[in-house]
Structure 1
Amino acid sequence: MRRLELKSPAKLNLYLKIIKKRRDGYHEILTLFERINLCDLIILEKHTRGIKVFLEGEDIPLKENLAYRAGLLISKKIGKKLGVKIRILKHIPIGAGLGGGSSNAATVLLGINHLYELGIDKGVLYEWGASLGSDVNFFLSEEKFALGYGRGEKLSLLKNIETRLWHLVIYPGFPILTSQIYRAFDGIGLTKKATNVRILIDSLRKGNIGKIGNLFFNSLEPVVLKNYPLLSFWREKLNSTSAKGVLISGSGSSIFGLYENRKEVERVRRELERFKKREVFFVVSTDC
């Protein structure tokens, strides 16, 4: 095999609670991940020598590109100079709270492992993934839903959940730096009582869409809304529709609403189009 084409999916955080700031500067969190069907496309091709990345749709310095770092990491860990061309066709906005970079890194780790038939165990990939980013392991898991803790790199996989959620995701047209939002959060702390993530997971298993939306929670949301009034505008607009729940994903910048079905999401998208300027709308569902 000389070439692989792989989908690199985005995620939403249906729940994100900041528990505490750790001595190492990171934050202890509890989060519920959902993998969605908004995807980048990654093409891996064997190459004579070295890791080469070709990025279409965005401009990221090579040393900051997580896919590039993932390629270098796997080469270093196995002690062999692998040759791989990595072509990334971007559809997931950068700095949007959708995990695009982490997903690209996970897809490269999984893909190179398969392309070169390295036989690296998933547990080992988890160890390497954690060194690249907090969300990488969720994408390595290839599960639809998972509970993340620690920095988000430790996982409790939620298997056999058949519920498919439908969302309207709004990217406001600008990225938000995760570090900026966490610093701002440290200045004010938790301002809203968290919902119960265990009840949320139970509702997810039962497919109770209304209850799922009512249990959405994000500790970072008040900080994001305070610093970015445009997102407050879109939160108000989504809340004025038939959304069962509305939430900022991760540290932003995307905001999403939960709906009963695709038909309803499409109707709401058309309804809100007239307010759109540079925003991008995505109709997405759980990646099945």
Structure 2
Amino acid sequence: MKAIYDVLAPAKLNLFLHLTGRRPDGYHLLQSVFMLVDWCDTLHFELRSDGQIQREDLNVTLPADDLIVRAARLLQQTGHTSLGAHISVHKSIPAQAGMGGGSSDAASTLLALNRLWKLKLSTEQLCALALQLGADVPFFIRGRNAWVEGIGDIIRPLETTAQCPTGRFIIVKPQTGLETAKIFSAPELKRDKKPATIAGFAADHYHFGENDLQPVAQRLCPEVTQALEWLELQGLNPRMTGSGSAVFAHIPEQHESKLDLASAPGTWQIKQCSNMEVHPLLGWATSDKSSVGV
């Protein structure tokens, strides 16, 4: 195998996000449901024999030492391989959106290079590496919609449609982005939410709970409020995902044709998505022999 093309890296939405506490080291304790959606970046991997990690940005210029490069180097070092890779990246997921685009790219890089370099690392081994890159990365490695707790490291898959039913969503990314660190360092941020249960979530999937980061985000970025209000005018029940600035809403059946997309500001990115039952690369860390674009 000399190359793997058209490797997808899907975005995620936080159906709710509660902060239940804060550890002495400053990390926040949370509860959330992470859900995969079919808004994806696309990566291509070509084998290099000289050990070099080279990244080519096809449409958006990324930082030189981004999570893709860091993931590749970490896997290279851990796997004790002399092989390298040329990685081409086509970005679709917006940055500073709370949709996990960078984390998803890192996870897909670990999964693809694990296969391309024939390292045969397990899911658990890759998750251990993923956690060194960011709290969201292990979720994408595990590859299923999940109930997430702790600092993002406790991941419980939601494996049935009853736990996470199929749905359509509209996602709005305002022009202005938000830095996660500014949200979590805000003095007014509430961190004392009563712990929720999966049963409580399952009783009202798309209206359960709230995003505890949203009030701070609205103060820092008025466009978040504008996007929420625009979705409300569409007759939907919106909320922010992650630390923003993207907001989203579940689209009830038969409601999609009623959306007035032309009334939104032209600077916003708007996409109608479906959720995904599993990650496109699920099984790539095991003996699964399926392949995509090889």
TM, length-normalised to structure 2: 0.87
Do structure 1's residue 217 and structure 2's residue 210 form an aligned pair? yes
Matched with 1:52 is 54
Deviations 1:93-116, CA, capped at 9 Å, x for gaps: 011111000000000000011112
Identity over aligned residues, as a percent? Answer: 27
Matched with 1:125 is 126
Structure 2: tracts of 5 or more residues without a match = 278-294
Alpha-carbon distance in 2 for matches of 1:272, 1:20 = 39
Deviations 1:139-194, CA, capped at 9 Å, x for gaps: 10111x1011222122111112262121110000232110011111xx01328966
Deviation at 1:275, TM superposition (A): 2.9
Deviation at 1:18, TM superposition (A): 1.2
- SS of equivalent to 2:205: helix
Task: Select which of 257, 266, 273 maps to 1:284.
Answer: 273
Deviation at 1:48, TM superposition (A): 2.3
Contact 2:107 2:140 in 1 (8 A): yes
Matched with 1:265 is 256
Matched with 1:11 is 12
More moved, 214-223 vs 96-105: 214-223
- SS of equivalent to 2:121: coil
Q: One-letter code of the match for 1:119?
A: K
Contact 1:192 1:219 in 2 (8 A): no
Do structure 1's residue 177 and structure 2's residue 179 form an aligned pair? yes
Alpha-carbon distance in 1 for matches of 2:2, 2:41 = 20
Deviation at 1:259, TM superposition (A): 1.1
Contact 2:17 2:211 in 1 (8 A): yes
Q: One-letter code of the match for 1:250?
A: G
Q: One-letter code of the match for 1:264?
A: H
Deviation at 1:19, TM superposition (A): 1.7
Q: One-letter code of the match for 1:148?
A: V
Structure 1: tracts of 5 or more residues without a match = 204-210
Alpha-carbon distance in 2 for matches of 1:122, 1:128 = 10
Do structure 1's residue 83 and structure 2's residue 84 form an aligned pair? yes
Matched with 1:31 is 32
More moved, 94-103 vs 76-85: 76-85
Instruction: Please state which structure has a larger fraction of its residues in helix.
Output: 1
Contact 1:136 1:153 in 2 (8 A): no
Contact 1:266 1:283 in 2 (8 A): no
Matched with 1:206 is none
TM, length-normalised to structure 1: 0.89
Q: One-letter code of the match for 1:222?
A: P
Deviations 1:27-49, CA, capped at 9 Å, x for gaps: 11111100000001010110122
Matched with 1:246 is 238
Q: One-letter code of the match for 2:188?
A: I
Relative to structure 1, is the Cα distance of residues 125 and 191 closer, same or farther in structure 2, using a 3 angstrom cutoff?
closer
Alpha-carbon distance in 1 for matches of 2:193, 2:133 = 31
- SS of equivalent to 1:108: helix
- SS of equivalent to 2:255: helix
Relative to structure 1, is the Cα distance of residues 12 and 28 closer, same or farther in structure 2, using a 3 angstrom cutoff?
same
Deviations 1:31-72, CA, capped at 9 Å, x for gaps: 110000000101011012211111223222211x10110000
Q: One-letter code of the match for 1:258?
A: H
Contact 1:29 1:151 in 2 (8 A): yes
What is the aligned residue count? Answer: 273
Relative to structure 1, is the Cα distance of residues 69 and 96 closer, same or farther in structure 2, using a 3 angstrom cutoff?
same
- SS of equivalent to 1:161: coil
